[in-house]
Amino acid sequence: MRNLKTALAALGVAGALGLGTAHAGDTLNAVKTRGELVCGVNTGLPGFSMPDEKGHWTGIDVSICRAVAAAVLGDATKIKFVPLTAKERFTALQSGEIDMLSRNATWTMSRDTSMGITFAGTTYYDGQGFMVKKSLGVTSAKQLEGASVCVLAGTTTELNVADYFRAQGMTFSPVVFDNPDQTSQGFESGRCDVLTSDQSQLYALRLKLSDPASAVVLPEIISKEPLGPSVRQGDDQWFAIVRWSLFAMLNAEELGLSQANVDDKKTTSSDPNVRRLIGLDGDFGKQLGLDNDWAYRIVKQVGNYGEVFDSTVGAGSPLGIARGLNALWSQGGLQYAPPVR
């Protein structure tokens, strides 16, 4: 009996030690030695991370992984993608199975403080929204008094919608489904007037309707869902690399650097901001533990934030989501990166 207890205690200690033992520099060295970045992604979410016909991963979350690989290893293809379900995503990061997690996880306080992980930034400002049939003539969520609402069971979306209607002093009747596919079928077959989910998913669900033009997504957003990459706590250098890889993409867009013109700018640009970002002036890459070409490689191999957004979720993709909150701060959005200097 005592032996059993000792064994269990030893197991517990081993478990506790297994958490949060990342030290500064550990992850970077491990990735460099391995020659490969291990990145946790979603098993299949349109626009964010999804295998295409040939089994290549595509999406905005995937592009963040590619940017980090380009910065650290010099090659955006040196990545092992680990598809993860919602339940195992944080464990995989905590246990060291993956180097970073880029799997449409919402940045919340409890995740940032108590789970042994740190969010490195926001790749996509999402939020819960509503989709209604065009024929109803509704233009704002405030006109939804008494509506029946299709919603996924057991999610925060279900709680959010109840909060929203109570706060607005309106009534609604929930129609609950088990998976997104059923939810959109319920909406299409007229079981409910309104479908609610994260906005990025509403656009994807809308495309799966037999006549996508028959439904509209309302402008109101009733919850904050900032989605971004996360890393293990305790390795500040690795945290900085992931965070600045994202910032480099944002700064590149702001400075007008794109995949197409970055080579040109590298030889001709006299703008000190551009020169600092792509490593012509200063030693910013070295300070990060990389080389000074790091941001140049990100832009050259992956593109700037705007390009990535467009080709994965934005106007250039089947989803066709407007920039909205994800526009640069200078264009009325929230995306803002600190300067390189």
Partner 1 sequence: MAVFEAKPALPPPVLTRGPVGWARQNLLSSPLNVGLTLVGVVLIVALVVPAVDWALLNATFRGTTADACTGTGACWPFVTTRLDFFVYGFYPPPERWRVNVLFALLALVIVPQLLPRFPGRRALAVFGFLGLPVLAAVLLLGGIAGLPFVETGKWGGLMLTLVLAMVGILAALPVGVVLALGRRSKMVVVRVSCTTFIEFWRGVPLISVLFMASVMLPLFLPEGVNFDKLLRALIGIIMFQSAYMAEVVRGGLQAIPRGQFEAAHALGLGYWRTMGLIILPQALKLVIPGIVNTFIALFKDTTLVLIIGLLDVLGSVQAAIVDPAWNRVAVEGYVFAGLCYWVFCFGMSRYSHALERKLQTGHKR
Q: Whole-angstrom Cα distance, residue 241 to residue 13?
A: 31
Place of tokens 């480099």: 248
Q: Whole-angstrom Cα distance, residue 301 to residue 286?
A: 20
Cβ 184 to partner 1, closest distance in Å?
A: 10
Q: Whole-angstrom Cα distance, residue 289 to residue 238?
A: 9
Which positions from 265 through 324 interact with partner 1, judged by CB under 8 A?
A: 317-319
326, two tokens: 């994800």
Build a one-symbol-per-residue string for 226-255: x at contacts with partner 1 by CB under 8 A, - elsewhere: ------------------------------
Nearest to partner 1 of 84, 227 (CB atom):
84
Nearest to partner 1 of 157, 201 (CB atom):
201
Nearest to partner 1 of 292, 317 (CB atom):
317
Q: Quote the Cα angle for 300-303-305, to 5°.
A: 150
Residue type, 331: Q
Nearest to partner 1 of 84, 192 (CB atom):
84
Element (H, E) at 253: helix 236-254
Half-sphere exposure of 13 (CA within 13 A, CB side): 6
Q: Is 88 a binder of partner 1 (CB under 8 A)?
A: yes
Nearest to partner 1 of 74, 234 (CB atom):
234
Query: Contacting partner 1 (CB under 8 A), which of 32, 91, 162, 217?
Result: 91
Q: Which range binds partner 1 by CB under 8 A, 12-20, 142-150, 284-292, 298-306? A: 12-20
Nearest to partner 1 of 82, 117 (CB atom):
82
Q: Of the candidates 301, 251, 319, which has an alpha carbon nearest to the alpha carbon of residue 76?
A: 301
Cβ 135 to partner 1, closest distance in Å?
A: 20
Specify whether the CB–CB gap between 257 and 308 falls below 8 A.
no
Specify whether the CB–CB gap between 150 and 195 falls below 8 A.
yes
SS3 state of residue 338: coil
Cβ 131 to partner 1, closest distance in Å?
A: 15
Which positions from 155 through 214 interact with partner 1, judged by CB under 8 A?
A: 181, 203-204, 207-208, 210
Build a one-symbol-per-residue string for 41-80: x at contacts with partner 1 by CB under 8 A, - elsewhere: --xxxxx--xxxxxx------------------------x
Place of tokens 């970002």: 277
Place of tokens 């007008």: 256
Interface positions with partner 1 (CB under 8 A):
11, 14-15, 17-19, 21-22, 43-47, 50-55, 80-85, 87-88, 91-92, 94-97, 181, 203-204, 207-208, 210, 317-319
